[in-house]
Structure 1
Amino acid sequence: MQSEAVNGVAPGREELVARAAALRAGLWEDAPQSDGARRLTGRSIDAVTGAGLMRLMTPQRLGGYASDIRTLLEVATEVGRGCSSTAWITGVLNAGNFVASLFPRQVQDEVWSLNPDARTALVLGMPARGIETADGGVLVTGEWAYVSGSLHADWVGVLIAVPVPGADPVVHFALMRADEVQIKDTWHFAGMRGTGSNTVVAAGVFVPERRLLPYLPLLNGETDGVVDPAHRYRNSLVGLFSIGLLGSLLGGATAAFDFVREQAPKRPAAGSRYANQAESPSLQLDLAEAATKIETAKLLAGKIADAADEAAYAGEFADVLVRAAARQYSTQVAQLCREAVDILMTAYGSSAFNEANPLQRIWRDVNVGSRHAGFGMGIPQQLYGRALVGRDPREISLLV
């Protein structure tokens, strides 16, 4: 673990981004192995953890950095320039730690007092039902698919519907130790293979009341009495989660752009008399278009992060228009990254699809990652449009 700042002050954004950049070469080298094994290499996960990059959302009193959302974005983007899957896991596990940090202090102590690098996998989706009440808690049985980071987590946070006598069940986050659940090997996807986003299975796991956290109050910013008042984590959860994913896509698109530009002077412009690709106006135009898409995507992602941070620093919770905009902007960022990589693949030529070429792995990763459910099905556009005409977007989806 790298030494921390003097007098216990957590490292700032510049230092943390520099740490992420220092890992790039090693992550790039291990990326094919992570892709083939469908899980990150031990060296990759150890490198990110050893650099302190799993502590971004951990409370400072327990050895974490309590970083802002812009820092998470820039760190994940730098990691993504080395390996998209590693960046995805870095973003997701930090987001999971963010949610764990919203639990009461006793639970925070359980998670981090013995290990400030403890990692929390988290999944948002349909809550498990059929939960049984028990003395002092609940018995949880269920399955949750697409749990990115589950292979490298110490804790797992899932949604469950807790029964209430005479009323509808109330959705809660349930926090379980990783050794209490099983992992079903279901992640056989074309891209983001290294994320190992498998299915988590719980069979009658006892979860004490202290490790149950009401879900809707957090989404709606109704944190008084739920979250430690001294905690400045009042960011929109949806904005946070999207940032945790977007850094990977931005990093991957940037890595693809850098690779194509660096190789252009060494590659022939097939079917022409140009000395190399760099001399071809077509390649120059493609690079200009891809660069513009990537830079636009970075600006939009930064806008999402900054809006969340501004609300947090002001002790406020972003209104539904800002939150709906975050989902729409996130969708646009994902689309721009995918479009940029597609342009770069065509510009490079058909050998970009050779299995030995890193471009094809980035292409697969960005194409799969950009189609995450949070970015798709036209829902983000509907949410933003409804908010723009003064209607409540939560009539469509609670994930705002």
Structure 2
Amino acid sequence: MSNPVVSTVVRTPDRGELVKRAEGLRELLSEHAVECERERSLAAGVVSAMTESGLLRLMTPRRHGGYGTDMRTLLDVATELGRGCCSAAWIAGVLNAGNFVASLFPPAAGDEVWGEDPDARCALVLGLPAPDVEHVDTGVVVSGRWAYVSGCLHAQWISALIAVPTAEGRPDINFALMRADEVDIEDTWHFAGMRGTGSNTVVADRLFVPRHRLVPYLPILNGETDGVVDPDLPYRNSLTGLFAIGLIGALIGGAEAALDFVRDKGHSRPVAGSTYRNQTQSPTFQLDLAEATSKIDTAKLIAARIADTVDEYARAGINTDLTVRARNRLESAQVGRLCREAVDTLLTAHGSSAFNETNPLQRLWRDINVGSRHAGFGMGIPEQVYGRALVGQDPRDISFIV
């Protein structure tokens, strides 16, 4: 008979301390950004540094040694990491969201994940559920493929959606928590930007998943998790708002890094074909800088409202209604668009050398252009979802990501 897992509660650093830790990693992340992009994976030293700083256990339950922080902390940490490396910040956001989802599984699953390692990491994918699932006595056997699994190269566990057959013939969508060493990872992430995320394809081939590592998807999506999460944590809300927060933080941080670079270089860069001493003397440069800064500031304000709204409802123990959830999704898309537009303006202001492969601006431009087109943000669906909610109709008729 195995010994019971002993809970380990650690001191929870406040938001200021955690953001300070992220700030302290900025130089390291920046130094490894080229390597991360070339290798299409975060450098081992980057993962170790984020882990040792506790920035990958923000959403891990306190009873398992995590911090159980709020959404504003996740946003601010991801933003600060993004100023060093967009890919690293994106992975931190996804892995923390994955740890949150893992915390909603039955206690036996949490003991498996963190019982021996409070820094264990869970990747999360919200793609279409695996089509091949069969019941066995103590769980299910799963075969399927999930693309775009950010964090799969650096996780010990992976949460993915599966469609469990029911007697009524209508599939029951569940999260399945799978060991990373029991699935295969296909090298499919060959993209122009966010290359360091290594968001490859995960493949399961007749993988057994015990019953305690299955949890219904809809209650998590709808924020119906009261009493499920660690009692030391505040009531949590819908998954969609939480999942996007780390991603938009990465985009904001990248845009801020581009702004800092262009503004600093403006004092030493000439304006070709003009008599201006440097770029800062040009009214056009000043106008571009003002426009980009305003868009980034607006993106930050919107992102803060999303995070604060989720936290406010969580503290009040009130589930977020569909209109607010739909607004959060639309505003997340707006944050990505504003960051993308700001960086486009900044590259024009800096000049054509921004596209030199040795210039970090071109990598930031590619990262933000790819990241801001994440499926949760693009193709006009967020606008449709919010508009449908505003006229009193169910936005889930258009998309389940609400």
The letter for the 2-side match of 1:123 is: V
Q: How does 1:139-158 map to 2 (within 5 A)?
A: 139-158=141-160
Query: How far apart are 1:223 and its partner, in Å?
Result: 3.2
Query: How far apart are 1:396 and its partner, in Å?
Result: 1.3
Q: How does 1:353-364 map to 2 (within 5 A)?
A: 353-364=355-366
The letter for the 2-side match of 1:125 is: G
Query: How far apart are 1:166 and its partner, in Å?
Result: 3.0
Residue 71 (1) aligns with residue 51 (2): no
Contact 2:104–2:225 (Cα < 8 Å) also in 1:
no
CA distance in 2, matches of 1:201, 1:282: 51
Aligned alpha-carbon RMSD (Å): 1.2
Deviation by residue 1:263-294 (Cα, 9 ceiling, x = unmatched): 00111111111111111111111110000000
Query: How far apart are 1:43 and its partner, in Å?
Result: 1.0
Label 1:101 to 1:383 Cα distance change in 2 as closer, same or farther (>3 A). same
Query: How far apart are 1:220 and its partner, in Å?
Result: 2.2
Partner of 2:5: none
Contact 1:256–1:359 (Cα < 8 Å) also in 2:
yes
Partner of 2:41: 39
CA distance in 1, matches of 2:192, 2:14: 36
Contact 1:235–1:312 (Cα < 8 Å) also in 2:
yes
Partner of 1:311: 313
Partner of 1:4: none
Q: Secondary structure in 1 aligned to 2:63?
A: helix
Partner of 1:329: 331
Q: Work out the number of aligned pairs and report it.
A: 394
Query: How far apart are 1:231 and its partner, in Å?
Result: 4.8
- After alignment, is 160-169 or 87-96 more displaced? 160-169
Contact 1:180–1:205 (Cα < 8 Å) also in 2:
yes
**1:188 paired residue among 190, 211, 222:** 190
Task: Give the TM-score of the pair, scaled to structure 1.
Answer: 0.96
5+ residue gaps, structure 2: 1-8
Contact 1:345–1:359 (Cα < 8 Å) also in 2:
yes
Q: Secondary structure in 2 aligned to 1:74?
A: helix
Partner of 2:163: 161
Residue 347 (1) aligns with residue 349 (2): yes
Q: Secondary structure in 1 aligned to 2:165?
A: strand
Partner of 1:291: 293
The letter for the 1-side match of 2:57 is: R
Query: How far apart are 1:222 and its partner, in Å?
Result: 3.1
Query: How far apart are 1:215 and its partner, in Å?
Result: 0.4
Identical aligned pairs, as a percentage?
65
Contact 2:147–2:201 (Cα < 8 Å) also in 1:
yes
CA distance in 2, matches of 1:398, 1:120: 22
Deviation by residue 1:175-205 (Cα, 9 ceiling, x = unmatched): 0111010100000000000000000000111
The letter for the 2-side match of 1:274 is: Y
Partner of 2:6: none
Query: How far apart are 1:167 and its partner, in Å?
Result: 2.7
Partner of 2:101: 99
5+ residue gaps, structure 1: 1-6
Contact 1:124–1:159 (Cα < 8 Å) also in 2:
yes
Contact 2:120–2:156 (Cα < 8 Å) also in 1:
yes
Query: How far apart are 1:134 and its partner, in Å?
Result: 1.1
CA distance in 1, matches of 2:62, 2:18: 15
Contact 1:104–1:228 (Cα < 8 Å) also in 2:
no
Runs of 4 or more above 4 Å deviation: 224-231
Q: Secondary structure in 2 aligned to 1:65?
A: coil
Q: How does 1:157-236 map to 2 (within 5 A)?
A: 157-223=159-225, 227=229, 231-236=233-238
Contact 1:104–1:227 (Cα < 8 Å) also in 2:
no
CA distance in 1, matches of 2:354, 2:232: 51
Query: How far apart are 1:9 and its partner, in Å?
Result: 2.7
Partner of 1:122: 124
Deviation by residue 1:271-330 (Cα, 9 ceiling, x = unmatched): 111111111111111110000000000000000000000111111211101100000100
Q: How does 1:6-17 map to 2 (within 5 A)?
A: 8-17=10-19
Query: How far apart are 1:74 and its partner, in Å?
Result: 0.2
Contact 1:79–1:248 (Cα < 8 Å) also in 2:
yes
